[in-house]
Amino acid sequence: MPDKILVSLQSASKALQTADHMVYITFPLIKENRLLIKILSEIYSAVLTLVNIILQYDSSYKRIILTENASENFRVFREKCSPRFGISSAELEKIVEIFRLMKEHKASPMEFVRRDKLVIMSDNLKTDTLTLDRLKDYLLVSKGLLQKVSVRIQARW
């Protein structure tokens, strides 16, 4: 189990490094707004991996019981695991926002670029915009989450 968790931790770290590089180097150079979705995808991948690591870690110490239902597992993460790892409610809100945005992107029938934003339109014509500043904020929260998880897990092993 520890090896699997450490490999997942490295995977999350790599995804965040990729997202960081795209945000601060690739995007300013290319200035292609469609790259924003790829950056969101990398951040989402890292955060999802980190949440799964936390759930697996707490499950291995019999603190929680995992189910097949992902939304139930996320509820357990919010209520039981996040306080133990020092994840604030503001960070939890950002994590939920990242998951919601990615879900909207996957279900979106239409996305288009407007000025310096990528607009994601849902079936009921509700729009959500993705900007570089918003992604930088998500990246900052994700790096903080990676730091908290790394310190906690590597202190044990």
Take residue 58 and report the two structure tokens written for it.
Answer: 């707490």
User: Of 88, 105, 85, 86, nearest to 45 (Cα)?
Assistant: 105
Confirm whether 124 is domain-assigned. Answer: no
Amino acid 1: pLDDT: 57
Compute the mean pLDDT over every residue in the chain, rounded to the nearest whole number.
94
Number of structural domains found in the chain: 1
Domain extent at residue 55: 2-87+132-156
Query: Which residues in the chain belong to E strands, given as ranges?
Result: 110-114, 117-121, 127-130
Q: To the nearest whole percent, how much of the chain has pLDDT over 70?
A: 98
Confirm whether 14 is domain-assigned. Answer: yes
Confirm whether 73 is domain-assigned. Answer: yes
Report how far residue 5's alpha carbon sits from residue 28's, in angstroms, rounded to the nearest whole number.
Answer: 34
Question: What's the predicted TM-score (pTM) here?
Answer: 0.94
Confirm whether 65 is domain-assigned. Answer: yes
